[in-house]
Amino acid sequence: MKVTFCTDLDKSVVVTNCEKRGWVQVGPEDDWNIYWAGTLTCKSLFSVDSGYRMSDAQIINHFPNHYEISRKDLLVKNIKRYRRELEKEGNVIAEKGDSKYLHLDFIPVTFVLPADYNMFVEEYRKSPQSTWIMKPCGRSQGSGIFLINKLSKLKKWSRDTKHIFQPQLAKESYVISRYIDNPLLIGGKKFDMRLYVLVTSFRPLKAYQFKHGFCRFCTVKYDSSVAELDNMYVHLTNVSVQKHGGEYNSIHGGKLSVQNLRLHLESTRGKEVTEKLFDQISWLIIHSLKAVQPVIASDRHCFECYGYDIIIDNKLKPWLIEVNASPSLTSTTANDRILKYKLLDNIFSIIVPPSGFPDTRWNKIPTKEAMKDFELLIDEEIIQNEDPETSEKYGAKYSSMYRWR
């Protein structure tokens, strides 16, 4: 039987990968086995009104309510709830010191506006003149983001938004987070990491991390002074913002591989602290997924590749900035194109059973060979079974997963 695929994204990297496997492209109204779709298509497909029921031979690249982790306000809400629940249970993971979480302190102090305005003001007054970053909850690519260091600036913005010609925008929710003003710099420039995480199931949780992430650089050297507060080329690493900067192409199109970052840190900071940093990154990814695990509709027909954006401060502490449900598949350089082609190829190797034909009744435990350049982050089914043979097959990475309990 031929595997059929469908996509509504105009990206050659998807079609080329599928055709190389001998899969046949069909339309959305035809009988498809694999659908690589945009989030709006998934929303329509899973809506009650559509009446669409998928067969055991159909899989799609989004969970019905993927936005529980990718929408900025919901991510914060779910992580805060997760902390409270673990704290209530007396779980050591939720341990606190100096009123801060010792193990779950991986997102900056954040509030949702306008709902949490009074709580934000109370926090702001503890350290006046501190810098905060405002982000609209439902937008992406750096759109609508700005920094403030005075309460009066926030009040002015609030007044101004009520007098614009599009009154519906005044109701838009924003998150306001304490700005990480001590970022790790390379060449004097701020950067963040884009990592790819594949989730094939939320219950039990099964997640994999792609080895070939990259760092995105600002085009202007970092300057925390008030004079540069409105200069987004200094503060925002988004490619959609930085591509307009004059020096964007100076560092491989503004990007550096995670492997090269690791080598740089090992040579400048030492191997031990570098290993600790990357362990902490794995920790925050897993616990961000666990935070949304109870609320995500874990449909067996679904898988998802999330784009994690992480900033490292100058003390080598990683901070989760946001999670993207539709990370860009657009290529800005030849290396970028190779990376994204390999990403898609590796995803298809994991989500399709050894038979080569999609089947939702499969236990979703791929062979080590099928994982290719993905590393297992967590598989709760394997942990629950505590199978020594599987443990040995997956190696040291599997053994470390017991830390995530």
Task: Give residue 242's pLDDT.
Answer: 52
Q: What is the pTM of this model?
A: 0.89
Rounded to whole angstroms, the Cα distance separating 102 from 52 reads 45
Indicate if 240 and 371 belong to the same structural domain.
yes
Task: Give residue 397's pLDDT.
Answer: 46
Q: How many domains does the chain have?
A: 3
Task: Give residue 173's pLDDT.
Answer: 84
* Angle formed at CA 401 by CA 191 and CA 101, multiple of 5 degrees: 60
Q: What is the pLDDT of residues 87-105, one digit of tens each?
A: 999 999 999 988 889 999 9
Rounded to whole angstroms, the Cα distance separating 283 from 379 reads 14
Task: Say if 142 falls within a structural domain.
Answer: yes
Indicate if 272 and 148 belong to the same structural domain.
no
**Mean pLDDT score of the chain, rounded to an integer?**
85
DSSP conformation letters of 75-99:
HHHHHHHHHHHHHHHT-GGG-EETT
End-to-end Cα, the chain, rounded Å: 41
What amino acid occupies position 7?
Answer: T
Indicate if 306 and 369 belong to the same structural domain.
yes
Q: Do the beta carbons of residue 33 and residue 3 sit within 8 Å? A: yes
Indicate if 260 and 399 belong to the same structural domain.
yes
Given strand 59-60, what is the order of strands in its sheet? Answer: 24-25, 4-7, 34-36, 59-60
Q: What is the pLDDT of residues 236-262, one digit of tens each?
A: 655 544 554 555 444 444 578 999 999
Rounded to whole angstroms, the Cα distance separating 303 from 351 reads 8
Indicate if 18 and 141 belong to the same structural domain.
no
Among 65, 88, 118, give the residue marking a domain's end.
65
Q: Do the beta carbons of residue 39 and residue 66 sit within 8 Å? A: yes
Task: Give residue 388's pLDDT.
Answer: 57
State which residues form the domain around 381: 185-354+361-404
* Angle formed at CA 193 by CA 188 and CA 197, multiple of 5 degrees: 175
Name the residue among 131, 144, 167, 166 with its Cα closest to residue 72: 144
Q: Is the pLDDT of residue 170 over 70?
A: no
Task: Give residue 253's pLDDT.
Answer: 45
Longest dimension (CA), the chain: 66
Indicate if 223 and 293 belong to the same structural domain.
yes
Task: Give residue 50's pLDDT.
Answer: 81
Tell me the pLDDT band of 386, cut-offs 50, 70 and 90: low
Task: Say if 293 falls within a structural domain.
Answer: yes
Indicate if 229 and 300 belong to the same structural domain.
yes
Task: Give residue 98's pLDDT.
Answer: 83
Indicate if 53 and 145 belong to the same structural domain.
no
Indicate if 238 and 299 belong to the same structural domain.
yes
Task: Give residue 248's pLDDT.
Answer: 44
What amino acid occupies position 244?
Answer: H
Q: Is the pLDDT of residue 396 over 70?
A: no
Indicate if 212 and 142 belong to the same structural domain.
no
Indicate if 113 and 146 belong to the same structural domain.
yes
Rounded to whole angstroms, the Cα distance separating 317 from 306 reads 21
Q: What CA dihedral angle connects 248, 185, 335 and 284, to 10 degrees?
A: -130
Task: Give residue 252's pLDDT.
Answer: 43
Q: Do the beta carbons of residue 280 and residue 319 sit within 8 Å? A: no
Task: Say if 88 falls within a structural domain.
Answer: no
Q: What is the pLDDT of residues 303-356, one digit of tens each?
A: 999 999 999 999 999 999 999 998 888 887 888 889 999 999 999 999 999 999
4 compared with 167, residue with greater pLDDT:
4
Q: How far is CA 244 from CA 146, 247, 248, 311, in A?
A: 17, 9, 7, 22
Task: Say if 53 falls within a structural domain.
Answer: yes
Task: Say if 21 falls within a structural domain.
Answer: yes
Task: Give residue 241's pLDDT.
Answer: 44
Task: Say if 14 falls within a structural domain.
Answer: yes
Cis peptide before 114 (omega within 30 of 0): yes
Task: Say if 329 falls within a structural domain.
Answer: yes
For residues 149-169, give the mean pLDDT: 67
Task: Say if 95 falls within a structural domain.
Answer: no
Q: Is the dihedral of CA 237, 242, 245, 246 positive or negative?
A: positive
Task: Give residue 9's pLDDT.
Answer: 86
Q: Do the beta carbons of residue 169 and residue 123 sit within 8 Å? A: no
Name the residue among 40, 31, 33 with its Cα closest to residue 9: 40
Rounded to whole angstroms, the Cα distance separating 172 from 188 reads 35
- Helices 258-268 and 271-292, interaxial angle, to 10°? 140
Q: What is the pLDDT of residues 108-149, one digit of tens each?
A: 999 998 889 899 999 999 988 888 999 888 766 556 788 888
For residues 201-206, give the mean pLDDT: 96
Q: What CA dihedral angle connects 390, 396, 401 and 403, to 10 degrees?
A: 140
* Angle formed at CA 270 by CA 268 and CA 275, multiple of 5 degrees: 120
Indicate if 262 and 374 belong to the same structural domain.
yes
What amino acid occupies position 394?
Answer: Y
Among 42, 65, 88, give the residue marking a domain's end.
65
The β-bridge relationship of strands 214-217 and 189-202 is antiparallel
CATH number at residue 348: 3.30.470.20
CATH number at residue 119: 3.30.1490.20
Task: Give residue 328's pLDDT.
Answer: 86
Q: What is the pLDDT of residues 38-51, one digit of tens each?
A: 999 998 898 888 88
Which tokens go with 232? 């987004």
Q: Do the beta carbons of residue 116 and residue 328 sit within 8 Å? A: no
Which residue do the tokens 């192409």 mark?
249
